[in-house]
Amino acid sequence: MYKSLVLDADKCTSCLQCEMACSMQHEGMFNPARSRIKVFEFEHGARSIPYTCTQCEEAWCLHACPTSAIVINQCTGAKEVINDKCVGCKVCTMACPYGTINFQASSGKVVKCDLCGGDPQCAVACPTGAIVYQ
Amino acid sequence: MGWQKQILRVDLTNGSVHKEPLNMDWAQQYLGERGLATKYLWELMDPETDPMSPDNVLIFATGPLTGTMASTSGRYAVVTKGPLTGAIACSNSGGKFGAELKYAGYDLLILQGKAPQPSYLYIADDDVQIIPAGDLWGATVWRTEETLKKIHHDPQIKVASIGVAGEKGVMYACVINDLHRAAGRSGVGTVMGSKNLKAVAARGTKGVRVEDPQRFMELVKETHQLLKENAGVREMTELGTNAMIDAMQDFGGLPTRNFQEVQFEGTEKIDPAAMMETRPNGHRNLVTNKACFGCTIACGRIAHIDKEHFTIVNRKEYWHASGGLEYETAYAFGPVVGVDDIDALTFASFLMNEHGMDPISFGVTLAAAMELYETGVISKQDTDGVELNFGNAEALTVMAEKTGKFEGFGQVLGLGSKRMCEKYGHPELFMGVKGQEFAGYDSRALQGMGLGYATSNRGACHLKHDTFAEDMEDQTGKGKALPCKETQDATAALDSTGICLFTAGAWGSDNLARQVDAACEGDWSTERFVETGERVWTLERMFNLKAGFTAKDDTLPERMLNTPARSGTAKGKISELDKMLPEYYTVRGWNQDGEPTEQTLHRLGL
């Protein structure tokens, strides 16, 4: 049984430490616009909901990809994008029912959560336990 | 790095937009946010300028740590010449707007001139446009934010705007961002309104880089842990800043009924326990706590009002949750006006955010009006028929709305306490310094606080120094001057980074200096960091001296200096400002006229 990211909206304060940690890990800078995890706010901030790839068992993004650029990491169960194979066709973004694999204009490729190879930095950064890897 | 090394200059008069490199010599001397904006203001305008004229300069400034993983990194400052005071104004705010402005690629946004028609500024990375405000002129802060997100088809846009209060010239209008975070004091929103600028809408996708990412991330881990382990910080998370109301009540430093008293009998009806209590009808004031950008403390409160309460029973548009009571709001709508109805306080707090007004200045102005009313100086004929007695919750909410909409007696309250009290021939009832109203701490009970109020460069303010520990320990003027000076400098340095003052209980200047050092070029030792703060403080002082202020303005109202506190630990005490102030000037390296000596200016490179 793989570990997964457990997201608890009741504990989220919308501080966005997760988004900054994610972008630092993957982009080398603090840039929420390029984070693989997003926090959505509702009702004047009364509800804050962190949201990212659930690593579906039957991953539609993986099945939809025409170049086999999405593969399963056998250690973590994460569905990862192989950049060299991705041609930026965006079919996976249409296949994903959750909207958590996205096209990045700056690189011309898609990006998604890869669980940071088994040490997801969003969970490390979360100060309230709203994001736990277990 | 840390800095984006680019500033945005907008001349609203002729509609020109220029991107310029950040002056890195100044960045190395003044760091960012409050300090760097002060330097630009100093260079760009004559301090004698009328604050409401197009020649006043309005600066939105981020710091080198804004938008990084350093905890509480969402801060930005609005720096200008304040209309409430005529002094330099520096109000900072959290929320998410500041980080977004920086992610768009700018350390500073400098606004000059006055738009020929009501306008807003749209910034999406390199795309910067001045756009006619149309129907938004006259809209509330809340509707403005909602509308701009719709117009630009982007819910991720962050908005800083003014309400009608700022458009019509309420002297203490705020800039509100993200619905309920405020650059609150001194009328920075009034200046924005005088420039015909309704809002700044920002979207940034460029990110922020730091000089040494590995060392920076190690410090992030270490400093986040320091916050987590700090008892004071934990209390802010659990109870919010309003925990202070019980402490001040016990101590006897809680300004009540326009500072006639220092303890309030209704405190327990409006304190954190009251906010968290579930009532017989199932209503609970507090909904949740909420963080600003990057903040691991999350002191912010989200609250809602009982639907059966008289204020909103027929107004469904206020049935949702929004920004709830923090300490200063609770003080300014509670003890100082004698009101103990928590729903009325919360509603008034909503109105401040919706219409864009400083709750401290509004509450203390209303308190003076209530004293004028109770002593018979003004009557129902002046107050639109409202009974303006202390303790009248309806008077609080009705007047908050009238002032926000600039209607009736609200136009008088919109003058601020000093101008209003002068208008009615009772200047002695103004409770503040340099035209700005006091925060929720009494100068007779907290002596160092009184010195801080008297010497703060933006008029009475509790956020520019911290002698709290000294004040609680000893209630004389002894030994207050040096810690007041030192914490003023340390706070000025902190305010120049992009970090929130509420970290100061857990982090010293050394923790901050190390984070700045890892993020930025240049060797940022603790000594250099603190000296930067002293340079900022002194330059602010120079601005005020040039604007016409003198040592005579570093004073407190007669009530603090001559009327003893009636109860509490300070019963019988008055402020010992006359003893503290000469010592303060000396430790600052200023002469007894409150002017920095040549030697001091030279030492600071001014």
Whether residues B292 and A48 touch (CB distance < 8 A) is answered with no
Domain ranges of chain B: 6-203, 236-433, 464-603
CATH fold for the domain made of B6-203: Aldehyde Ferredoxin Oxidoreductase;  A, domain 1 (3.60.9)
Sign, Cα dihedral of B366, B370, B376, B380:
positive
Residues of B in contact with A21 (CB under 8 A): 69
pTM of this structure: 0.98
Q: Once rounded to an integer, what is the mean pLDDT over residues B430-442?
A: 98
Q: What percent of chain B has pLDDT over 70?
A: 100
Calculate the alpha carbon distances from B246 to B253, B268, B308 in Å.
10, 8, 27
Domains A1-52+116-134 and A57-112 share a fold: yes
pLDDT at residue number B1? 84
State how far the Cα of A22 lies from the Cα of B344, in Å rounded to an integer: 42
Interface contacts (A, B; CB < 8 Å): 88
Q: How confident is the model at residue B323 (pLDDT cuts 50, 70, 90)?
A: very high
Q: How far A133 CA lies from chain B's nearest CA (Å)?
A: 18
- Local structure of B92: helix, strand or coil: strand
Q: Is B414 on the interface with A (CB under 8 A)?
A: no
Tens digit of each residue's pLDDT (9 = 90 or more) over B481-538? 999 999 999 999 999 999 999 999 999 999 999 999 999 999 999 999 999 999 999 9
Amino acid letter, residue B594 = G
Tens digit of each residue's pLDDT (9 = 90 or more) over B28-86? 999 999 999 999 999 999 999 999 999 999 999 999 999 999 999 999 999 999 999 99
Torsion angle of the four alpha carbons B272, B276, B278, B283, in this order, in degrees rounded to the nearest 10 = 100
Domain ranges of chain A: 1-52+116-134, 57-112
Nearest to A28 among B99, B213, B228 (CB): B213
User: Is residue A53's pLDDT more than 90?
Assistant: yes
Select from B96, B94, B122, B119 the least CA-distant residue to B202. Answer: B122
Q: How confident is the model at residue B262 (pLDDT cuts 50, 70, 90)?
A: very high
Tens digit of each residue's pLDDT (9 = 90 or more) over B548-577? 999 999 999 999 999 999 999 999 999 999
Q: Is A8 on the interface with B (CB under 8 A)?
A: no
Q: What percent of chain A has pLDDT over 90?
A: 96
Nearest to A15 among B178, B204, B298 (CB): B298
pLDDT at residue number B413? 98
What sections of B424-562 are H helices per DSSP?
447-455, 468-473, 481-494, 509-519, 526-547, 558-562
Residue A121, both tokens = 């930095």
Task: Tell me the pairing of strands B197-203 and B119-124.
Answer: parallel
- Give Cβ neighbours of residue B110 (< 8 Å, ≥ 6 apart): B7, B8, B9, B10, B40, B44, B57, B58, B59
Q: How far B387 CA lies from chain A's nearest CA (Å)?
A: 33
Tell me the average pLDDT of chain B. Answer: 98
Q: Is B279 on the interface with A (CB under 8 A)?
A: no
Say if residues B88 and B540 touch (Cβ distance below 8 Å).
Answer: yes
User: Is residue B467's pLDDT more than 90?
Assistant: yes
Architecture of domain A1-52+116-134: 2-Layer Sandwich (3.30)
Tens digit of each residue's pLDDT (9 = 90 or more) over A7-19? 999 999 999 999 9
Q: How far B217 CA lies from chain A's nearest CA (Å)?
A: 9
Say if residues B501 and B507 touch (Cβ distance below 8 Å).
Answer: no
Q: Is A25 on the interface with B (CB under 8 A)?
A: no
Say if residues B224 and B200 touch (Cβ distance below 8 Å).
Answer: no
Nearest to B302 among A21, A45, A125 (CB): A45
Q: B464-603 belongs to which CATH class?
A: mainly alpha
Architecture of domain A57-112: 2-Layer Sandwich (3.30)
The domain B236-433 is placed in CATH, from the list 2.30.30.220, 1.10.1370.30, 1.10.569.10, 3.40.50.720, at 1.10.569.10
pLDDT at residue number A1? 83
Residue B103, both tokens = 């992610």
Q: Once rounded to an integer, what is the mean pLDDT over residues B201-224?
A: 98
Q: How confident is the model at residue B269 (pLDDT cuts 50, 70, 90)?
A: very high
pLDDT at residue number A100? 96
